[in-house]
Amino acid sequence: MQLPYFCFNMPKKVEIYKAEFIISAPNLIQCPKGDISEYAFIGRSNVGKSSLINMLTNRKDLAKTSSTPGKTQLINYYLINHDWYMVDLPGYGWAKVGKKQKQQWSKNVREYLLKRKSLTILFILVDIRLNPQDMDIEFINWAGEKEIPIALIFTKADKLSKNKVTGSVNGYKKHLKNFWEELPAIFISSSETRQGREEILEYISRINNMMSTIK
Ligand code: GTP
Ligand code: MG
């Protein structure tokens, strides 16, 4: 039997037609009014957060990138399609800053993560080339304990062969299953080849649609 055309769950093409820088906030108090959904990107310094935001928005220099870890130090807001925010967060594990600055950073980011009501999904980025690192696993588990909604994005997939990408993701999943009953959503990305762009944007779009039906 042939199904009517509306039964097919066609993937929705998501377009970003506008991406504007709004503010770099040093802390939660200075973040914009939290009246729209926001999707934040976090992960170790240099993992590729800012590059991913540029890739997703089709913009070369919207978020500042650097080969030197520690480029992003503030909570950076980008308004997408006049409708929702992408938030570029500073990376954790940046060795070159002093202890005091690190403590201040983690205090500000922690407060943002724990209290920002409009934070819809926290995307945690991990470098696909590395075995599960304690620092990432501890952070992922901490976010889980605090009931922060997360999704994982593996970055720099262009740097590995297809087989190694699969092996790395499977190894990661197996490791996470030691701590998680049900795994969060997982994406594989490359800012070089644009791998993962449609999947990530589609995921955000589905959640945005869900949120607007709840409101
Ligand atoms: P901080 O702001 O310092 O925390 O770093 P970040 O996570 O924002 O990383 P950023 O986007 O600045 O990228 C760090 C370096 O990795 C840069 O040299 C990028 O060009 C490179 N890079 C990022 N994503 C990819 C990727 O998908 N593939 C490859 N090959 N290089 C990437
Ligand atoms: Mg950055």
Kindly state if the Cβ of 71 falls inside 6 Å of ligand 1: yes
Separation of alpha carbons 44 and 24, rounded Å? 19
Kindly state if the Cβ of 191 falls inside 6 Å of ligand 1: yes
If you ran DSSP here, which 8-state letter would residue 92 be given?
A: B
What was the pLDDT predicted at 16?
95
The answer to whether the beta carbons of residues 200 and 9 sit under 8 Å apart is no
pLDDT tens, residue by residue, 101-149 = 667 778 899 999 999 999 999 999 999 999 999 999 999 999 999 999 9
Separation of alpha carbons 208 and 7, rounded Å? 22
What is the CATH architecture of 5-214? Answer: 3-Layer(aba) Sandwich (3.40)
188: left (phi over 0), alpha (psi -120 to 50) or beta: beta
Lowest mean pLDDT among 3-17, 46-60, 98-112: 3-17
Separation of alpha carbons 122 and 115, rounded Å? 13
- Mean pLDDT, residues 51-71 taken together: 89
Counting atoms of ligand 1 from 1, which one is nearest the CA of 190? Answer: 27
Which residue puts its alpha carbon closest to atom 18 of ligand 1? 67
Counting atoms of ligand 1 from 1, which one is nearest the CA of 43? Answer: 7
Closest ligand to the CA of 159: 1
Q: Report the 10 Å Cβ neighbour count for 97.
A: 16
pLDDT tens, residue by residue, 133-190 = 999 999 999 999 999 999 999 999 999 999 999 999 999 999 999 999 999 999 999 9
| DSSP codes of every residue in 131-183 | PPPHHHHHHHHHHHHTT--EEEEEE-GGGS-HHHHHHHHHHHHHHHTTT-SSP
Kindly state if the Cβ of 73 falls inside 6 Å of ligand 1: no
Separation of alpha carbons 188 and 160, rounded Å? 12
The answer to whether the beta carbons of residues 117 and 105 sit under 8 Å apart is no
Separation of alpha carbons 70 and 68, rounded Å? 6
Which residue puts its alpha carbon closest to atom 23 of ligand 1? 48
C-alpha distances in Å from residue 14, one per residue of 17, 57, 81, 198, 208 = 10, 11, 11, 7, 12
pLDDT tens, residue by residue, 85-104 = 999 998 887 656 667 766 77
Kindly state if the Cβ of 155 falls inside 6 Å of ligand 1: yes
Kindly state if the Cβ of 198 falls inside 6 Å of ligand 1: no
